[in-house]
Amino acid sequence: MPDTLTPPNIPTAPVTPAILDGLRAVVGDKGLILDEPGKEPFVRDWRGTLVGSAAVVVRPATTEEVSGVVKLCHEHGIAIVPQGGNTGLMGGATPWPTHSGIVLSLGRMNKVIEVDPVGYAMTVEAGCILQTLQETAAAHDRFFPLSLGAQGSCLIGGNLSTNAGGVQVLRYGNARNLVLGLEVVLPNGDIWNGLRSLKKDNTGYDLKHLFMGAEGTLGIITKAVLKLWPAPKDVATAWLAVRDPQAAIEILSEAHSASEDNVGSCELMSRAGVDMVMRHIPGVQDPLKADTPWFLLLEWSSSRPRTDGAEGMAEKMEQFLAEQFENGRVLDAVIAQNEAQARNMWVIRESVAPASRAEGPGLSYDVSVSTSRVPAFIEQGLKAVTDILPSIRPYPLGHIGDGNIHFSFMGPKGMDRETLRQYSPAITRAVNDLVRDMTGSISAEHGIGIEKIDELAHYRSKIELDTMRSIKRALDPKNIMNPGKILRL
């Protein structure tokens, strides 16, 4: 756990042998993991830096079993940490070391219940792997746009609970925009069935939005009705060397009309980030050997198939890039000629997180500001951080169309984790103060979890924090649902 964090007050009722028998009666032996090596992957976070504890990992197979487990825990005041693929980056799915309750893993609830290609909707269980859902949609000639580096292992329930972002937000919105309905097990074990596939439904408070982004603190998402879109048929993917971040946002601004509203993704990367991927991830090729500091991965896609003779996405993009070359924003560029080349570009982007894990200790801030302020944020932020630790190695990247910057740094060469940690409070304050001064957000897409619990308390107004606490207390008066995450009560 980060040194700077003191554990919150969380319920410490133990899982007694009688309660264990009760859990076994609900989920069977198959649904319980009791041995320490078996529990280990569920109590350690993706980065391997947060380690907690749990009496037992419970793996229900149905909503009714989730409800049975939660009812038992509610009755006895036992704390529950809901968990999907455990790829979250803020420690939301990691139990605190003082946690004496259970981890409830949704991994066995992995059925696609219904695909409705005509109505552009799909009903799924919360434990489906994101990539499986993308493939299921594609098999029906439809598109499920949520896309992120962890898609091979994160689960849709976790995606919705973190309101995940990723590389298609620019066009389709965050995870919460991709949902029509939800089923949720509330902290008292009741099942709320909100599995409606309605685009229009103004019947009072829209409860589903309470649970998305709540990081498991208000209930357990067990099923969802997801929106689908037409499958992309004509895609152009390009890797650009760009003059600087200001040029990047200007390119994006003009790309909307040049592509006829077909911009899918626009990802900014730095030379340092690309070099790090080349060092650690085998099999990737640098698309441009340009010795320039900034790159843009730009993708346009249309659901209209290419027809012979007509101008497709690639031709439109080529013309656009020629103009951007002339005006000096683009220094060099390559448009992928086939799927393998496009895939290589995406692998570079998606491999930054695993490459940084391999490189060594670092610091990373997932922040957002309005898109037009991204260049100023990067410039002022880099100055503020290097004033504190001049030899730190920045590799900023981001979903810049969303104003989302992963403001990331590797520690100075040779500096160990403990030494870097001593600089962390001052750097965090400098970065987050700048975010506040630019009316931005200290967490753009990764959430709060454990890691940002005190930062949220520092930067959000009393009125906002009190309103969040009122909602939490109303739904979970015993504070058993992922206690000590997002808020200290």
Beta bridge partners of 155: 129
H or E stretch covering 467: helix 462-475
95 counts as binding ligand FAD under rule CB under 6 A: no
367 counts as binding ligand FAD under rule CB under 6 A: no
Residue from 154, 268, 277, 369 touching ligand FAD (CB under 6 A): that is 154
Residue from 164, 186, 228, 355 touching ligand FAD (CB under 6 A): that is 164
CB 480 within 8 A of CB 80: yes
Question: HEC states along 131-198?
Answer: HHHHHHHHHCCEECCCCCCCCCCCEHHHHHHCCCCCCCHHHHCCHHHHEEEEEEECCCCCEEEECCCC
CB nearer ligand FAD, residue 184 or residue 314: 184
Q: Minimum Å distance from CB 324 to ligand FAD?
A: 26
Q: Minimum Å distance from CB 283 to ligand FAD?
A: 17
52 counts as binding ligand FAD under rule CB under 6 A: no
Q: Minimum Å distance from CB 389 to ligand FAD?
A: 25
What span, in angstroms and rounded, lies between the C-alpha atoms of 306 and 223?
37
Residue from 22, 31, 85, 484 touching ligand FAD (CB under 6 A): that is 85
Number of residues that bind ligand FAD (CB under 6 A): 38
400 counts as binding ligand FAD under rule CB under 6 A: no
String of contacts with ligand FAD for each residue 120-139, x by CB under 6 A? ------x-------------
84 counts as binding ligand FAD under rule CB under 6 A: yes
Structure tokens that stand for 202 in this block: 């103004």
Residue from 58, 61, 79, 106 touching ligand FAD (CB under 6 A): that is 106
CB nearer ligand FAD, residue 142 or residue 485: 485
Q: Minimum Å distance from CB 65 to ligand FAD?
A: 13
What span, in angstroms and rounded, lies between the C-alpha atoms of 189 and 70?
5
CB nearer ligand FAD, residue 179 or residue 335: 179
Residue from 60, 68, 107, 216 touching ligand FAD (CB under 6 A): that is 216
46 counts as binding ligand FAD under rule CB under 6 A: yes
Residue from 1, 10, 72, 89 touching ligand FAD (CB under 6 A): that is 89
402 counts as binding ligand FAD under rule CB under 6 A: no
Residues, the chain = 489
Report residue 472 CA to chain centroid gap.
Answer: 22
What span, in angstroms and rounded, lies between the C-alpha atoms of 218 and 258?
44
CB 156 within 8 A of CB 224: yes
Structure tokens that stand for 297 in this block: 């991965």
E-only strand ranges, 231-290: 234-242, 263-270
Cα angle 440-442-443, degrees, rounded to a multiple of 5: 110
Backbone angles phi, psi at 279, to 5 degrees: -70, -35
Interface segment toward ligand FAD; rule CB under 6 A; list 24-32, 153-161, 263-271, 288-296: 153-161
355 counts as binding ligand FAD under rule CB under 6 A: no
H or E stretch covering 427: helix 417-437
480 counts as binding ligand FAD under rule CB under 6 A: no
CB nearer ligand FAD, residue 101 or residue 317: 101
82 counts as binding ligand FAD under rule CB under 6 A: yes
User: Measuring CA to CA, how many Å separate 362 from each of 36, 188, 267?
Assistant: 29, 40, 21
448 counts as binding ligand FAD under rule CB under 6 A: no
β-strand pairing of 397-399 with 404-410: antiparallel
50 counts as binding ligand FAD under rule CB under 6 A: no
Interface segment toward ligand FAD; rule CB under 6 A; list 88-96, 186-194, 263-271, 326-334: 88-96
CB nearer ligand FAD, residue 163 or residue 301: 163
Question: Quick one: 311 exposed, middle or buried, by C-beta within 10 A (0-12, 13-18, 19+)?
Answer: exposed
CB nearer ligand FAD, residue 44 or residue 306: 44
User: Measuring CA to CA, how many Å separate 270 from each of 36, 175, 360, 473?
Assistant: 41, 26, 18, 44
H or E stretch covering 455: helix 453-459
Give the chain's radius of gyration (CA, Å).
23
CB 346 within 8 A of CB 373: no
Interface segment toward ligand FAD; rule CB under 6 A; list 17-25, 137-145, 273-281, 443-451: 443-451
276 counts as binding ligand FAD under rule CB under 6 A: no
103 counts as binding ligand FAD under rule CB under 6 A: no
Q: Minimum Å distance from CB 243 to ligand FAD?
A: 25
Residue from 63, 67, 123, 159 touching ligand FAD (CB under 6 A): that is 159
First to last CA, the chain: 19
What span, in angstroms and rounded, lies between the C-alpha atoms of 269 and 266?
10
What span, in angstroms and rounded, lies between the C-alpha atoms of 175 and 212?
8
Q: Minimum Å distance from CB 433 to ligand FAD?
A: 24
299 counts as binding ligand FAD under rule CB under 6 A: no
Residues at the contact surface with ligand FAD, assessed by CB under 6 A: 46, 81-89, 92-93, 106, 126, 148-150, 154-155, 157-159, 161-162, 164-166, 215-216, 220-221, 353-354, 445-446, 449, 482, 485
